RNA sequence: GGGCCAGUAGCUCAACGGAUAGAGCAACGGCCUUCUAAGCCGUAGGUUGGGGGUUCGAGUCCCUCCUGGCUCGCCA
């Protein structure tokens, strides 16, 4: 990775220039300058050293530049063509041509492995996302969490982390009971035994009628039998919804390694055992017939009920047991638990953190990514959503109307902690302006060039070798594209650490924009398929590398990499 | 009232504490005899909600106020 590479070099230069200084404690940054005239990579080391040494930044910079030039000259593959000071206290490094070509060669050599960190980190992440109640179809908000969890998992895996993707199925609580009651009422209605009386906390959506219908038709359960068959109705209803949910997730390209059932925690006695441990350690107390967990108010919360006065356990109780299980599973394989939650759960975080600490684990190993609400607009007006009222936009509907790729891309474009507006009409009617097509179009354009080359009898694989010097690549835009591609591995590393996959979308937009500019500017004068064999070879290599980086990024984002896109005028009327 | 998130161009959003705050959409004006115009170029658009502070440097960190969303159950 380029940043690490230069960090080592700069640090070496700092140590040589200021041997008496302890460099460990310093915050020397390597950054990518925004302007080309500030070089390809730069460091704030002069400002830092200026402060430490009490000398002007310029003086510190000159000492550093002297050392950096020595290092640069000592290598047979020098990395810099120019190293210079810039106000107020930066050292800017301009990459040498050799260094840039080396990046290209690495991409061609590593192919789908480019950006992937081959070094195994040995750190286990258990990522929980979506985790919707199986009491209704997924709505658009679930979709955002689903895509976020899916992409961040793939990126963590690519960076050498050990990852388990899990869906926690809340199949044990009161909500499930509410669903069953609602289903039974619908059965009554369908069989003409009376009006369906859906309680206030029941579910009113159409899908409840479907479940009831299926139960009668396929399972042969009639309304008279409901008291005896309560468990069967519950299991069927949950199974039915879960199948629907899995189908939706599959349509969205979201994967899981495991579905973990809340009910299994009770069946295995894990909730009971967890409570007993707390009791033995005097971490709980009884009041008004309920069992409370003692939570230090300094941690931003208050005592919370684990077992209700009616003897049932709360969601909190089973969730504690669930987290304990996550930590203990496979001999403690998962050191970090990432939970992707809807923002309406933020008030739940302090009590869970406290519980993690009371379990004897480090609260910092419990990471919550809050995904903010999705505001759905239709004709510019917000739509109120309530699962119980059955009044909401389902994720299925969105996928059907705007497509998997556009849905994923729209979710990925925003930081998770920013609210998102999802205007269905705009995404439908202006679907051709959707940014996802911009990204895919560039890929298709590259494929088109390569296709054309093959049609012309050019044997690309024979011409382009990763060992080449690519002397035909001389245009500034070509070298800039390679440098941009060189940022890709650093970017993935950053995303894995910050859990901010939207950065990948912005990177792809920039890379595509650079390519489109290059393409348009030279399509009359300096084509990829040039008459000059040296130029053509270099440009084919460039285009192959671009295709490779785009494909790798698309795979991580879970969107298609289309070999071609239909031309304007051929598209379906929408 | 307490807590969490946000407030950046007309709209939707970017910007590891770094240098002159950037994209897309919308508006306006241009570019197809071409390796795909779902593209490109140009114009216009800003006191980063207000006010203090921290430092070489603040959209970014701290304090405070204002506005919006969410949340404060023995629901999940």
Nucleotide nearest A517, CA–C1', reads: B40
Q: What angle do CA A493, A495, A499 make, to 5 degrees?
A: 135
Estimate in Å the CA A184 to C1' B70 gap, whole number: 34
Q: How far is CA A451 from the centre of its chain?
A: 32
**Measured distance CA(A15)–CA(A26) in Å, rounded:** 12
Six token digits for residue A213 = 């219908």
A188 or A20, higher pLDDT: A188
Q: Is the CB of residue A456 inside 7 Å of nucleic acid strand B? A: no
Estimate in Å the CA A419 to C1' B7 gap, whole number: 12
A427 or A529, higher pLDDT: A529
ipTM: 0.93
Whether residue A299 is predicted with pLDDT greater than 70 in this model: the reply is yes
Q: Is the CB of residue A565 inside 7 Å of nucleic acid strand B? A: yes
Q: Where are the domains of chain A?
A: 2-95, 174-251, 374-428, 435-557
Q: What is the pLDDT of residues A384-419, one digit of tens each?
A: 666 666 667 789 988 988 889 989 998 998 888 877
Residue A287 makes CB contacts below 8 A (sequence gap 6+) with: none
Average pLDDT, chain A: 90
Q: Is the CB of residue A131 inside 7 Å of nucleic acid strand B? A: no
- DSSP letters spanning A307-324: E-TTSPBPHHHHHHHHHH
Can you give the pLDDT at residue A430?
55
Q: What is the pLDDT of residues A350-386, one digit of tens each?
A: 999 999 999 999 998 999 999 988 877 776 666 766 6
**Measured distance CA(A367)–CA(A233) in Å, rounded:** 36
Q: At what angle do helices A174-190 and A230-251 cross, to 10 degrees?
A: 100
Nucleotide nearest A420, CA–C1', reads: B12
Whether residue A571 is predicted with pLDDT greater than 60 in this model: the reply is no
**Measured distance CA(A542)–CA(A539) in Å, rounded:** 5
Estimate in Å the CA A11 to C1' B75 gap, whole number: 55
Whether residue A567 is predicted with pLDDT greater than 60 in this model: the reply is no
Q: Which of A334-343, A415-424, A429-438, A530-539 has the lowest mean pLDDT?
A: A429-438
Estimate in Å the CA A438 to C1' B38 gap, whole number: 7
Q: Please give residues of chain A from 295 to 324 whose alpha-adjacent beta carbon (CB) lies under 7 Å from any atom of strand B.
A: 300, 304-305, 308-310, 312, 314-316
CATH code, residues A2-95: 3.30.1360.70
CATH code, residues A435-557: 1.10.730.10
Six token digits for residue A316 = 């909190």
Q: Is the CB of residue A389 inside 7 Å of nucleic acid strand B? A: no
Q: Which of A54, A102, A105, A63 is nearest to A83 (CA)?
A: A63
């Amino acid at each position: 990775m380029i940043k690490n590479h230069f960090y080592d070099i700069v640090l070496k230069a700092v140590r040589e220039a200021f041997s008496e200084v302890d460099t460990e404690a310093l915050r020397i940054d390597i950054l990518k300058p925004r302007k080309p005239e500030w070089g390809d990579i730069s460091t704030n080391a002069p400002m830092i050293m200026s402060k430490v040494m009490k000398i002007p930044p310029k003086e510190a910079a000159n000492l550093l530049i002297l050392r950096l030039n020595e290092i640069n000259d000592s290598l047979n593959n020098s990395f810099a063509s120019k190293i210079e000071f810039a106000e107020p206290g930066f050292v800017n490094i301009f990459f040498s041509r050799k260094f840039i070509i080396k990046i290209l060669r690495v991409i061609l050599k590593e192919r789908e492995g480019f950006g992937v960190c081959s070094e195994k980190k040995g750190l286990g992440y258990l990522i929980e996302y979506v985790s919707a109640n199986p009491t209704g179809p997924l709505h658009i908000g679930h979709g955002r969490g689903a895509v976020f969890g899916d992409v961040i998992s793939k990126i963590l895996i690519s960076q050498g982390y050990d990852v388990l993707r899990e869906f926690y199925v809340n199949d044990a609580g009161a909500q499930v009971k509410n669903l069953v009651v609602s289903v039974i009422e619908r059965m009554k209605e369908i069989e003409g035994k009376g009006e369906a009386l859906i309680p206030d906390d029941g579910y009113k959506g159409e899908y409840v009628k479907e479940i009831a219908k299926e139960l009668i038709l396929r399972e042969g359960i009639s309304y008279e039998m409901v008291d005896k068959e309560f468990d069967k109705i519950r299991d069927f209803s949950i199974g039915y919804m879960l199948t629907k949910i899995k189908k939706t997730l599959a349509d969205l390209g979201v994967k899981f390694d495991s579905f973990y059932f809340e009910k299994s925690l009770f069946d295995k006695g894990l909730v009971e055992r967890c409570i007993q441990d707390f009791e033995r350690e005097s971490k709980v107390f009884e009041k008004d017939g309920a069992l409370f967990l003692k939570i230090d108010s300094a941690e931003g919360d208050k005592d919370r009920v684990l077992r209700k006065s009616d003897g049932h356990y709360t969601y909190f109780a089973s969730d504690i047991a669930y987290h304990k299980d996550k930590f203990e599973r496979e001999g403690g394989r998962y050191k970090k638990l990432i939970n992707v939650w809807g923002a309406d759960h933020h008030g739940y975080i302090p009590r869970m953190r406290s519980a993690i600490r009371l379990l004897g684990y480090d609260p910092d190993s419990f990471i919550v990514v809050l995904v903010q609400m999705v505001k759905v607009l239709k004709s510019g007006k917000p739509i109120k959503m309530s699962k119980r009222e059955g009044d909401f936009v389902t994720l299925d509907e969105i996928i059907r109307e705007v497509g998997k790729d556009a849905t994923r891309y729209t979710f990925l474009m925003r930081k998770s902690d920013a609210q998102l507006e999802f205007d269905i009409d705009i995404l439908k009617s202006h679907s051709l302006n959707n940014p996802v097509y911009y990204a895919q179009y560039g890929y298709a354009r590259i494929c088109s060039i390569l296709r054309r080359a093959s049609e012309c009898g050019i044997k690309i694989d024979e011409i382009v070798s990763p060992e080449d010097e690519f002397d035909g690549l001389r245009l500034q835009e070509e070298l800039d594209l390679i440098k941009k591609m060189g940022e890709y591995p650093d970017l993935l590393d950053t995303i894995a650490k910050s859990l901010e996959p939207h950065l990948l979308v912005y990177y792809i937009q920039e890379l595509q924009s650079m390519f489109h500019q290059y393409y348009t500017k030279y399509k009359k004068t300096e084509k990829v398929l040039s008459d000059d064999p040296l130029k053509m070879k270099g440009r084919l290599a460039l285009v192959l590398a671009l295709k490779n980086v785009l494909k790798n990024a698309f795979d991580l984002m879970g969107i298609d990499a289309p070999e071609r896109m239909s031309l304007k005028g051929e598209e379906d009327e929408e």
